[in-house]
Structure 1
Amino acid sequence: MSLRLGDIAPDFTAETTEGTISFHEWLGNSWGLLFSHPADY
């Protein structure tokens, strides 16, 4: 899957030290930047 500038990222949940979060709920109406290095893991 690839995303382009202006695309809406898919929602996902993640376990954090603060509990489970939903990406879209956490981001709200703000802009966000997803940064990943999948080859590093």
Structure 2
Amino acid sequence: MNYLTRKLEEKIGLDLNGDGRIGGPGITAKLEKATHIDFNRD
């Protein structure tokens, strides 16, 4: 279901599951998770 939700979000440009991002996590989100530093103040 996560794959389908991610792909649908990318197609329509809306956050359907309320996780705060459209589609899968980007490189910034992965970096923030790994370093525990918020780079883009989100």
Band of TM-score, shorter chain: under 0.3
> Relative contact order: is structure 1 or structure 2 higher (C-alpha 8 Å, sep ≥ 6)?
2
TM-score when normalising by structure 2: 0.23
Q: Report which of the two has the higher share of helix.
A: 2
Query: Larger strand proportion, structure 1 or 2?
Result: 1
Q: Of the two, which has the highest radius of gyration? A: 1
